[in-house]
């Protein structure tokens, strides 16, 4: 037995159990690699060992990938290339082992863990929901570096391999079996026993390794000839460009490495994989994506309270939701998927029925995509119930109010429900702008009140913003945070204030887009420039998606709270007052067909924005460059983010960066607003803000924190070492 491996020999089979001490998961690191190499050396010399099984001693984890900590040690491309070559050499030894090797896979088999399994003779996995296989390196701006770009396409075909490598998506057990990624699938209880028997069968030549390569006539046809593979490569490259606009170098590099290996042989492919892995590991994109990995990892341990130890969260077995509209039904739909009983209330049965229908639609989509079974679907739907009174609220641990964004309405419904709940129940308002202290005013237990700001659509957007007041009890906070994570959300905790964090910085961004419109910049030019920066959609498309009526109300609230700095553009105000609703009303900045599909810019928007005379002479308006469009919108957002940190709305730059990336679509490869300041340099940011402040007074006045950082020569994150 070693620090990371346990070995047991039975009937000629050496069973190696990976179980790294002091860690909840197994990671491919140098220590594990060295120990595995010693075991392979033992196998090579001990002739009583006829076969080898590699299994895991962790719960629901095979090997979760490489140790990301080691990436912080890379100072040069050669450092990263050397790490790749170390892993390649180890797995080459495994692949060429004197005896057959069976990988017994249960739980997450990711990154380096899957690359290890690929080097084995035979792969068996369990039919458990937690068993997933993936090469997620592109999500860190990298490519697989331990032979994955070479062994995977040879095993499952080029098309399947590129789909896995370029997306990083999880492949579940049944799909893995169908595509030939694993050789067998079975129940967890018999995994190791069966793996040992299969290892003996392989040693005795009773079973032969299966034929490698793509399955299915068309896939095999494309794989077998250079022309067919060229079609696959070109299609993959076009797909990457379409999805990433070329902002991420790793996926494109991965295609070239796969192509090299299949054209020039395994040795050449591995050499190229190591070289390119080294180059990718030092790119700015990878450094920002690795930062986000560490940031989200550290956030999972943060309960959002200053007291130590943090109090235990209430177990949320039953959730009450006030309001069966789009947001309320969305919250209910993700709650039942986590086994929570949900009581959905609205003012009449028709609204309740519509809400339950929405819940059904979200879960049915998962059923149709075969992500859940019919019995699971039925079980989830039995957890959702509706009411027009408060029956069933008496044992709800958490209530989430999701009614109309109006303070008087929220006061009325919360005051009516407070006495219907248990004394220790947490009361949360799903609001995007209204201060929680104002929402809690008039309630008997303001210490149990906080905000839980979900993003739309709830079942797709990953962020949850929990908003606390000075009166909020720590137990209420940890309950909201814990339950938010159970729902699968990335949770940040922020302090109370108008618009909190995300709505506040988004308003600054959207308002500046509105000012550009007033100057005559075309709608599509603004959207195109910000998509070019890396946002998934432009600000005006986003405004149409959110709803112009909703955006108008938010803008009014923020203007009332912050004054001239947050004043909405008059042209946008006129568009809102014209009655356009955006996509939901099939009338906004863009045209929409009967299904809600977006078309071209609606030309009739310009007379509303600019007035008839200026609209008619738009071609004579001086153009504004894409660079200025981006700088104005982004600098407005960045400056407001720093103000939020300065004022204590944010607890840390980490939370601000995660909130912007996971809640607002800030480009992940740019890290977040605070990482962006560090990347540009605070002096450069101040220079841009000062220039715009001279042209557009008030809106771009630099945050005091930026000025102080320039004087003190400081930054938000350390230059070296762990980023958070």
Sequence-ordered alpha helix ranges (H) in 534-564: 539-546, 548-562
Q: Quick one: tokens of 467?
A: 């908003």
C-alpha 485, offset from chain centre: 13
Eight-class DSSP state of 171: E
587 bridge partner residues: 582, 591
* Residue 405 appears among annotated catalytic residues: no
Long-range pairs for 68-73: beta carbons < 8 A, 24 or more residues apart: 68/140, 68/290, 68/293, 68/294, 69/722, 70/29, 70/30, 71/140, 71/281, 71/290, 72/290, 72/721, 72/722
Strands 13-18 and 5-10: antiparallel
Sequence-ordered alpha helix ranges (H) in 119-208: 148-156, 158-167, 173-178, 191-203
**Total count of residues recorded for the chain:** 724
Helix (H, G, I), strand (E, B) or coil at 118: helix
- For the beta sheet containing 132-134, the strands, ordered from the edge strand earlier in sequence to the opposite edge, are 61-63, 108-110, 132-134, 171-172
Q: Quick one: tokens of 427?
A: 């009361």
**Nearest one of 16, 19, 31 to 58, comparing CA atoms:** 19
Q: Which helix (H) or strand (E) holds 6?
A: strand 5-10
Residue 262: φ, ψ to 5°: -75, -25
As a whole number of angstroms, the distance between CA 550 and CA 261 comes to 53
One-letter-per-residue 3-state SS of 663-687? HHCCCHHHCCHHHHHHHHCHHHHHH
Q: Which helix (H) or strand (E) holds 453?
A: strand 449-454
Using an 8 Å Cβ cutoff, are 492 and 454 in contact?
A: no
Choice among 465, 564, 684, 720 that is catalytic: 465
Using an 8 Å Cβ cutoff, are 299 and 658 in contact?
A: yes
CA angle 496, 473, 409 (to 5 degrees): 55
Helix (H, G, I), strand (E, B) or coil at 116: helix
Q: Which residues are catalytic?
A: 465
């Amino acid at each position: 037995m070693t620090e990371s491996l346990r070995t047991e020999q039975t009937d000629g089979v050496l069973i190696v159990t990976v179980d790294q001490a002091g860690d909840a998961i197994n990671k491919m690191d140098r220590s594990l690699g060295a120990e595995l190499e010693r075991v392979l050396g033992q196998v090579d010399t001990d002739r009583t060992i006829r076969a080898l099984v590699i299994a895991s001693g962790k719960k629901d984890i095979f090997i979760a990938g490489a140790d990301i900590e080691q990436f912080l040690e890379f100072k040069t491309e050669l450092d990263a290339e050397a790490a790749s070559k170390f892993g390649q050499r180890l797995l080459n030894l495994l692949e060429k082992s004197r005896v057959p090797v069976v990988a017994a896979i249960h739980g997450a088999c990711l990154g380096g863990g899957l690359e290890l399994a690929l080097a084995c003779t035979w792969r068996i996995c369990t039919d458990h929901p937690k068993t997933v296989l993936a090469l997620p390196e592109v999500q860190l701006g990298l490519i697989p570096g331990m032979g994955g770009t070479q062994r995977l396409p040879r095993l499952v075909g080029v098309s399947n391999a590129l789909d896995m490598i370029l997306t990083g998506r999880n492949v579940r057990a049944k799909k893995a079996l169908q595509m030939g990624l694993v050789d067998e699938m079975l129940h967890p209880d018999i995994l190791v026993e069966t793996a040992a028997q299969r290892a003996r069968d392989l040693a005795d030549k009773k079973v032969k390794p299966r034929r490698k390569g793509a399955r299915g006539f068309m896939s095999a046809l494309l794989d077998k000839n250079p022309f067919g593979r060229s079609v696959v490569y070109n299609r993959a490259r076009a797909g990457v460009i379409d999805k990433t606009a070329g902002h991420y170098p790793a996926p494109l590099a991965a295609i070239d490495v796969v192509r090299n290996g299949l054209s020039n042989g395994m040795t050449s492919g591995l050499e190229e994989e190591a070289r390119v892995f080294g180059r990718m590991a030092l790119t700015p994109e990878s450094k920002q994506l690795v930062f986000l990995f560490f940031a989200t990892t550290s956030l999972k341990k943060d309960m959002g309270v200053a007291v130590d130890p943090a109090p235990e969260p209430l177990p949320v077995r039953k959730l009450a939701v006030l309001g069966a509209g789009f947001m309320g039904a969305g919250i209910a739909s993700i709650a039942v998927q986590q086994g929570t009983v949900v009581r959905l209330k609205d003012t009449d049965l028709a609204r309740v029925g519509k809400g339950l229908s929405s819940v059904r639609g979200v879960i049915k989509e998962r059923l149709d995509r075969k992500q859940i079974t019919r019995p699971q679907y039925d079980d989830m739907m039995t957890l959702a119930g509706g009411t027009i009174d408060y029956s069933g609220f008496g044992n709800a641990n958490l209530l989430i109010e999701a009614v109309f964004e109006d303070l008087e309405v929220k006061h009325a419904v919360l005051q009516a429900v407070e006495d219907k709940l248990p004394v220790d129940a947490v009361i949360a308002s799903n609001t995007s702008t209204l201060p929680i202290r104002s929402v809690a005013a008039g309630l008997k237990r303001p210490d149990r009140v906080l905000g839980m700001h979900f993003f739309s659509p709830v079942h797709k957007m990953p962020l949850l913003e929990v908003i606390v007041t000075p009166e909020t009890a720590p137990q209420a906070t940890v309950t909201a945070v814990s339950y938010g994570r159970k729902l699968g959300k990335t949770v940040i905790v922020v302090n109370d204030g108008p618009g909190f964090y995300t709505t506040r910085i988004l308003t600054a961004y959207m308002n500046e887009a509105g000012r550009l419109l007033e100057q005559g910049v075309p709608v599509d030019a603004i959207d195109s420039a910000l998509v070019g920066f890396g946002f998934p959609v432009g600000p005006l498309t986003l405004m149409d998606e959110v709803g112009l009526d909703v955006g108008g109300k938010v803008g009014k609230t923020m203007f009332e709270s912050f004054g001239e700095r947050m004043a909405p553009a008059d042209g946008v105000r006129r568009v809102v007052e014209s009655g356009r609703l955006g996509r939901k009303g099939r009338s906004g900045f863009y045209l929409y067909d009967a299904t809600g599909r977006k078309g071209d810019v609606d030309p009739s928007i310009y007379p509303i924005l600019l007035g008839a005379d200026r609209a008619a002479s738009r071609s004579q308006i001086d153009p504004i460059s894409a660079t200025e469009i981006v700088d104005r919108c982004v600098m407005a957002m960045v400056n407001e983010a720093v103000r939020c940190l300065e004022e204590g709305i944010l607890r840390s730059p980490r939370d601000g960066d995660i909130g912007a990336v996971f809640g607002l679509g800030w480009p992940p490869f740019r890290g977040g607003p605070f990482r962006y300041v560090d990347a540009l340099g605070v002096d450069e940011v101040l220079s841009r803000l000062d220039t715009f402040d001279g042209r557009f007074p008030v809106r771009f006045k630099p945050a005091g924190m930026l000025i102080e950082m320039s004087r003190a020569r400081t930054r938000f994150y350390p230059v070296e070492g762990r980023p958070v």
